[in-house]
Amino acid sequence: FIDEIGEMDPSLLNKLLKVLEDKRVYFESSYYDPNDPQVPLYIKKMFEEGVPADFVLIGATTRDPQELNPALRSRCAEVYFAPLEPVQIQHIVRQAARKLQVEIDDDVPDIISQYVIEGRKANNILLDAYGLARYKNSGQSKLKITESEIREVLRSARLTPYIHKKVTKGKAIGRILGLGVSSFLGSVLEIEVKVFRSSDGKGNVRFNETAGTMARDAVFNATAVIRSLTGLDLRNYDLHVNVVGGGRIDGPSAGLATTMAIYSALKERPLRRDVAVTGEISIQGKVEPVGGIYEKIFGAKQAGVRTVIIPQENSAEVPSGLKGIEVVTVKNIEEAIRIAEAD
């Protein structure tokens, strides 16, 4: 087992690749003398014939796969670990508090779980808060870590919550939740649309430039689909499309969400606020497959989403044994709208 294999020195990594390729290890040493009669026979055999290396090597790293040596990746079976869920982080915090033999406020595990997805970082926050509490209450034999100490540690570390948006119940017109992925972490993106009638037949589509060029492509496809669905000529409307919070769209997967938000605003049909969608939309209204399904479902669950709509061609990527969230597959925009409009 090699921990942090992504940090290995390049020269050592090349030697490791040679071992993995030959399945044999050869030794070199300036201290070895093949003519020395005092060298044991098994040592001579090791240096002359090498040692079998037909073992299974396990390496671990926190780096992104793209940062690893391509030759190393080609020889590996890659296994990805999901981030810890808040309830698991809370359990780790409580265990750490018991080991420290210190009391904690009831809200402390929940607060920490909002800021970290790794057990080690959760422990570090608790340890820093423990040190702060001991400093404030020096001389006292019994300590208690309060929300105040935790908040102070979080402020000093400039940490921000991983889940920036929590889903609310009910329905809304022209608003829907999309899903994105960054560094193998799924997140919720809120897309909102406002529609105004244009009197001169020269309507425009406007959206926040921070969303990126892919947002422009998503809106372009969406307008064609909307015209086919409703028969409305969008030249008679001004459309304002906004990704709330200045989120960036780096791929086509927000096409379905953008189209549904525009449809909702034009037809004044409210959509469920606890539904999140992902999928590329074709100009014929078909929902095309996208990447990062596992991460998106995880991010949606963290944000409190109850139903996730994904392309039917991505159905094989849905993890088994999901609890607390429903995943629905669709072929086209009409199916997605029916689900999002349902009570």
Q: How far apart are CA 256 and CA 119, in angstroms?
A: 35
Q: How far apart are CA 283 and CA 137, in angstroms?
A: 65
Catalytic: 171? no
Work out the number of other CB atoms within 10 angstroms of the CB of residue 98. Answer: 11
Element of type H or E holding 121: helix 119-136
Instruction: Kindly state the tokens that stand for 72.
Output: 């190393």
Residue written as token pair 């939740």: 177
Amino acid at 301: K
Closest by CA position to 113, among listed 98, 130, 96: 96
Determine which one of 113, 187, 253, 264 is catalytic: 253
Catalytic: 166? no
Element of type H or E holding 186: strand 185-197
Domains of the chain: 2-74 (no CATH), 86-156 (1.10.8.60), 171-341 (3.30.230.10)
First-last CA distance in the chain: 52
Amino acid at 314: N
Q: Provide the phi-psi class of 268: left if phi over 0, else alpha when psi is between -120 and 50, else beta.
A: left
> Would you state the pLDDT for residue 165?
63
Cα 277 to Cα 25, 213, 249, 301, 321: the distances in Å are 51, 20, 14, 12, 20
Determine which one of 113, 165, 187, 296 is catalytic: 296
Q: Which long-range contacts (CB under 8 A, 24 or more apart) does 157-164 make?
A: 157/125, 157/128, 159/115, 159/116, 160/115, 161/114, 161/115, 162/114, 162/115, 162/116, 162/117, 162/302, 163/114, 163/302, 163/303, 164/188, 164/245
Q: One digit per residue, pLDDT tens: the chain, 343 residues?
A: 888 888 888 888 888 888 888 888 888 888 888 888 899 999 999 998 888 888 888 999 888 888 888 888 888 888 888 778 889 999 999 999 999 999 999 999 999 998 998 899 999 999 999 999 998 888 777 889 999 999 999 999 998 887 656 787 889 999 999 998 877 778 888 899 999 988 777 778 777 666 555 666 777 788 889 888 888 888 888 888 888 876 666 667 888 999 999 999 999 999 999 999 999 999 999 999 998 899 899 889 888 899 999 999 999 999 888 888 999 999 999 999 999 997 6
Residue written as token pair 């997967």: 253
Work out the number of other CB atoms within 10 angstroms of the CB of residue 130. Answer: 19
Residue 218 near residue 281 (C-beta atoms within 8 A): yes
